[in-house]
């Protein structure tokens, strides 16, 4: 279960959920997806999106956003449609992911129907009405505001009887935020996202150093919480540095107006491979407590150094060789210093021989174990 489903995605959570379903099918299991009005051929049930579809949220007026958040407390239509889908598909276990827009019904309906339920914490939906622990003006919340405390209190009250027995956090940072909010420790476990092998493409290779400027890369949504404006500000203070920006969003005009920056738009799989092969270093300047961006694992699997903000799950994900490149979030001068540090000695930060990070085979075993612990019957594939 996920609000969005490939090919309609907004971020890494939906991409991961779709890939997990594919891996489960390869292992011989039957899968089906329940979504918020969109999705591909795997979808076996939908709840209508209102007043807008989730991936269109960045362009909506305030009144529509207020209506969306109001319905996201409890949606009887989503509850009814999900019950129908469960009764038709008859799953051995329900695995929910990002559920913004599906309301508390997404967390209560499976257990209420007697089906084991695992929920992955890809964001902070249980704690924050914006799912991101940032305020309306984009500033990070060090203390949860009264509005989010009310919202999270209501969600806990509505889900207490049929709360998922197993919660998977995608990083220790995400688990810690939920522990502090009172989520029972016995329900929580941390399973990091897997690192996938890089695809073999023509021209791919690790010989990155070439004459000319250091080439940095940014890949993600072009929105404020991703810290892109901070990166563009830092770039204006640097010489002999270029930036490739892959993605789409409301900050595209700012990207296009910044010297030595090239906007690539939204990339398909082949485009992403070319992007990773063209850049010397990935920059992840997140301004929010980014749980576990998949792009860090993508860079890691390609031996690509990463400069990242010291926030959320990022310090857990970067290669050990890149820890000196972690910078203080929201601090453009520190980011400039770390870019200069990298440019002065890029080979120093190349990921080397490190403890193995779980690939899909190990990751899938951990997920299936979580299903069993939630009470799923072994069943037959």
Listed by start position, the domains of the chain span 12-194+360-373, 214-349
Q: Are 96 and 118 in contact (CB under 8 A)?
A: yes
What are the mean pLDDT values of the chain's consecutive 10-residue runs (381 residues total)? Answer: 90 92 96 89 92 82 88 93 96 96 94 96 90 74 76 86 95 95 92 78 47 92 94 96 95 96 94 95 96 94 95 95 96 98 95 69 95 66 25
Query: CA 58 → CA 285, 300, 349, distances in Å?
Result: 20, 29, 36
Q: Are 308 and 284 in contact (CB under 8 A)?
A: yes
Dihedral sign, Cα of residue 196, residue 201, residue 207, residue 209: negative
> What is the pLDDT at residue 203?
37
Q: Rounded to 5 degrees, what are φ and ψ at 270?
A: -65, -40
> What is the pLDDT at residue 199?
59
Instruction: Write 362-369 long-range contacts (CB < 8 A, 24+).
Output: 362/194, 363/191, 363/193, 363/194, 364/20, 364/23, 364/24, 364/27, 366/191, 367/20, 367/95, 367/118, 367/168, 367/191
- The yes or no reply on domain 214-349 and CATH 3.40.50.2000 is yes
> What is the pLDDT at residue 277?
94
Cβ neighbours, 10 Å, residue 114: 9
Dihedral sign, Cα of residue 105, residue 109, residue 111, residue 115: negative
Domain pair 12-194+360-373 / 214-349, same fold: yes
Nearest C-alpha neighbor of 264 from the set 298, 227, 215: 215
> What is the pLDDT at residue 208?
55
> What is the pLDDT at residue 132?
86
What single DSSP character describes residue 356?
Answer: P
Nearest C-alpha neighbor of 164 from the set 173, 155, 172: 155
- The yes or no reply on domain 12-194+360-373 and CATH 2.60.40.1730 is no
**What DSSP string runs through 287-298?**
SS-----HHHHH
> What is the pLDDT at residue 210?
63
Q: Rounded to 5 degrees, what are φ and ψ at 207?
A: -80, 85
pTM for the model stands at 0.90
> What is the pLDDT at residue 163?
92
């Amino acid at each position: 279960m996920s609000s969005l489903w490939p090919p309609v995605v907004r971020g890494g959570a939906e991409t991961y959920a779709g890939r997990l379903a594919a891996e489960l099918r390869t292992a011989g299991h039957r899968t089906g997806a329940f979504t918020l009005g969109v999705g591909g051929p795997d979808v076996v049930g939908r709840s209508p999106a209102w007043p807008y579809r989730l991936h269109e949220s960045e362009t909506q007026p305030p009144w529509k956003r207020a209506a969306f958040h109001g319905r996201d407390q409890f949606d009887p239509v989503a509850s009814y449609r999900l019950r129908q889908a469960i009764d038709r598909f008859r799953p051995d276990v329900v695995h929910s992911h990002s559920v913004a827009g599906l309301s508390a019904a997404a967390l209560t309906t499976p257990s209420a129907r007697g089906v084991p339920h695992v929920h992955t914490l890809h964001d902070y939906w249980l704690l924050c009405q914006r799912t991101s622990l940032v305020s309306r003006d984009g500033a990070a919340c060090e203390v949860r505001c009264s509005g989010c405390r009310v919202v999270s209190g209501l969600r806990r009250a509505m889900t207490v009887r049929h709360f998922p027995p197993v919660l998977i956090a995608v990083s220790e940072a995400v688990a810690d935020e939920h522990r502090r909010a009172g989520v029972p420790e016995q329900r929580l476990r941390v399973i990091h996202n897997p690192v996938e092998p890089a695809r073999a493409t023509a021209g791919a290779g690790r010989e990155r150093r070439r004459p000319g400027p250091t080439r940095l890369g940014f890949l993600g949504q072009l929105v404020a919480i991703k810290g892109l404006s901070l990166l563009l500000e830092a770039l204006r203070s640097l010489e002999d540095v270029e930036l490739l920006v892959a993605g789409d969003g409301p900050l595209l005009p700012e990207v296009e107006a910044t010297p030595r920056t090239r906007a690539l738009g939204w990339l398909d799989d082949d485009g992403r491979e070319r992007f990773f092969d063209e850049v010397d270093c990935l920059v992840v300047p997140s301004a929010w407590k980014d749980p576990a961006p998949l792009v860090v694992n993508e860079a890691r699997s390609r031996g690509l150094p990463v400069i990242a903000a010291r926030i959320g799950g990022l310090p857990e994900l970067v290669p050990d060789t890149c820890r000196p490149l972690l910078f203080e979030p929201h601090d453009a001068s520190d980011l400039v210093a770390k870019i200069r540090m990298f440019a002065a000695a890029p080979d120093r930060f190349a990921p080397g021989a490190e403890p193995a990070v779980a690939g899909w085979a190990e990751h899938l075993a951990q997920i299936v174990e979580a299903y069993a612990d939630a009470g799923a019957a072994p069943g037959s594939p």
